[in-house]
Amino acid sequence: MSTAFTVRDVPDDIARAIKIRAAEAGQSLQGYLLGLILREASKPSLAEMAARAERYASDQVDHADVIAALDEGRRGR
């Protein structure tokens, strides 16, 4: 089942910009906005990211581990 959304009070300049972007992408306004909504909904929220970080966090990391990780990252540039 799908749900319809209505967005009210969109400023004219914003509506115009979105319509132009949809046209440039070769999409209908509905298709373009649906794509934006799908992309946004597929990203984790800040709360989800914090929970994930909490799960991966370890109190067994010391300063030498952090320095080694930084050095490795710098070598990869």
In the chain, where are the structural domains located?
A: 12-75
Question: What H or E segment, with its residue span, contains residue 70?
Answer: helix 63-75
Contact 22, 32 (CB under 8 A): yes
CB 18 within 8 A of CB 32: yes
The pLDDT value recorded for residue 57 is: 79
Give the amino acid at 12.
Answer: D
* pLDDT for the residue 61: 74
- Determine contact, residues 66/73, Cβ cutoff 8 Å: no
The one-letter code for the residue type at 66 is V
* 18, two tokens: 């979105």
Q: What is the mean pLDDT of each run of 10 residues along the chain (77 residues)?
A: 92 98 98 96 91 78 84 85
Residue type, 52: R
